[in-house]
Structure 1
Amino acid sequence: MIAIRLRSSCGAALVGVLALATSGCGLSAELDREANPERKPTPSETRAAPPPVSATPSPSVSVQPVSGCPSSGLRFDVGPIDGAMGLRAMTLSMTNCGEQPYELNGYPSVSVLDEAGTPIPGVRTAEGTDEVPVAPPGSAPEPFTLKPGETARAGLLWRMAAEDGTYLRVAPDKKRDFVNVRPEEPLDIGPENILGTTPWAPAS
């Protein structure tokens, strides 16, 4: 797992917000008394709730089944996005749900796709995290065997950008077959950015 320590200036921001609020409270109270001298309660404003985000994949994009073991014997999952100071991190998991052991030695192969299943222009995947500003250093890959029932994990790191990625096209490495997975929340990574990866490691 990747832990990112959030360093925030929330205290200073909170002081500023409180200062703005208290500086206008006298004027606001006076206007309220003039508009409503009898102090009758005013109906609260109602706002329509935002429409829910659909988790249904586009008909043009084939994704990994929601449950069960794919025919490859490998199942991929992604964790929630952790963010601090503009740095984003996500855990990519691969479980051997088949019957044969699986040899791993290196980095996952990952690309970011838009809602139509097209790679986002300019987003490049790098082995390691050196090219991602302020990202923590990653360790070197080590070979290991992923036995049936075991899980391996790798980290994905990027800097916050404007354009969202809807799908991840992932494979154990560049020589293996890909599968598309849809994270629970979009990746704010495009249109020009670098996706850093850490090597596969056994899940603790």
Structure 2
Amino acid sequence: MIAIRRGMARSVLTAAVLSLAASGCGLGAELDREFDPEQTSPPSASARPPAVSAAPVPEPSVSEPSAPVPVQPVGGCPSSGVRIDTELVNAAMGLRATTLTLTNCGERPYKLNGYPSITVLDEAGEPFPEVRTVEGTDQVPMAGDAPAPKPLTLDPGETAQAGLVWRMHAEAGVYLRVVPQKGRETVTVRARDTLDIGPDNILGTSPWQASEERAREGTYR
């Protein structure tokens, strides 16, 4: 009699399991409830809902800033072994003058002989139309005479200077493209002051001189 009851119970349990499987319920979850009616232990892995990964949030698009005019780096020594800097602009009765300073920051002597070649650029880095650079200052009204060029050699750490003179104009230059002398590397520098030279103007240049010698002779005005 007991064996009959056990067989009937086993049949009922088997039928229940088959019914759960047919109805789509999780067999693992049902067995968990069978062994732990109070649900004091965490559900089995098979009963846990599948993890849903969050969709990646796209990065906001950021437009690249416009490239500035490539100029000589601030600080340090450029690969050319020289640095070029400008002075403040001096003004008197419509005449303008400033000074280029070239420093030998390299490890070898640097030779100069003659005039720098200058191109005046606007804020966008475009050359000023019709600004004509000349050697000497005699084509700039009211400018004094410049000395004759002569060769010089700068040892590491030494400097040379060249003068720039022009007549005032309404428009302002921002950058100077400088070739210390023919065959040398071009350097673009931002002028310390804007250069009110404008188009249809003449930029006079004086030759390179050792800084000490130029200080004794003045600024050619």
TM-score (norm 1): 0.70
8 Å contact from structure 1 (residues 101, 147) kept in 2: yes
Cα distance in 2 between the residues matched to 1:117 and 1:166: 8
Confirm whether residue 76 of structure 1 aligns to residue 84 of structure 2.
yes
1:177 counterpart letter in structure 2: E
- In structure 2, how many angstroms separate the alpha carbons of the residues matched to 1:99 and 1:75? 13
State yes or no: 1:122 paired with 2:136: no
Unaligned runs of 5+ in 2: 1-65, 213-221
Does structure 1 residue 187 correspond to structure 2 residue 198? no
Matched positions, count: 147
Q: Which residue of 2 aligns with 1:135?
A: 143
Q: Does 1:61 align with 2:62?
A: no
Which of 111, 132, 156 is the aligned partner of 2:119? 111
Measured in 1, the distance between the counterparts of 2:200 and 2:76 equals 35
1:88 aligns with 2:103: no
Separation in 1 of the partners of 2:182 and 2:195?
22
How far off its partner does 1:184 sit?
2.3
Counterpart-to-counterpart distance in 2, 1:71 and 1:199: 24
The sequence identity of aligned pairs, in percent, is 64
1:186 aligns to what SS in structure 2?
A: strand
Instruction: Return structure 1 stretches of 4+ with deviation > 4 angstroms.
Output: none
Q: Distance in 2 between matches of 1:97 and 1:184?
A: 20
Aligned-partner Cα distance in 2 for 1:116–1:122: 17
Matched residue, 2:152: 144
Q: RMSD of the alignment, in Å?
A: 1.0
Deviation, 1:80, is 0.2
SS of 2:193's equivalent? coil
Residue 185 of structure 1 aligns to a residue in which SS?
A: strand
- Write the distance in 2 (CA, Å) between the matches of 1:162 and 1:174: 31
Superimposed CA distance per residue, residues 41-86 of structure 1 (whole angstroms, 9 cap, x where no aligned partner)? xxxxxxxxxxxxxxxxx72410001111001000001000000000
* Equivalent-residue separation in structure 2 for 1:187 and 1:131 (angstroms): 18
Q: TM-score, normalised by structure 2?
A: 0.65
Distance 1:145 1:184 in 2: 26
- Correspondence 1:159 to 2:181: no
Match of 1:19 in 2: none
Q: State the alpha-carbon separation in 2 of the partners of residues 146 and 184 from structure 1.
A: 24
SS of 2:157's equivalent in the other structure is: coil
TM-fit CA distance, 1:171:
1.8
Preserved contact between residue 162 and residue 191 of structure 1 (Cα < 8 Å):
no
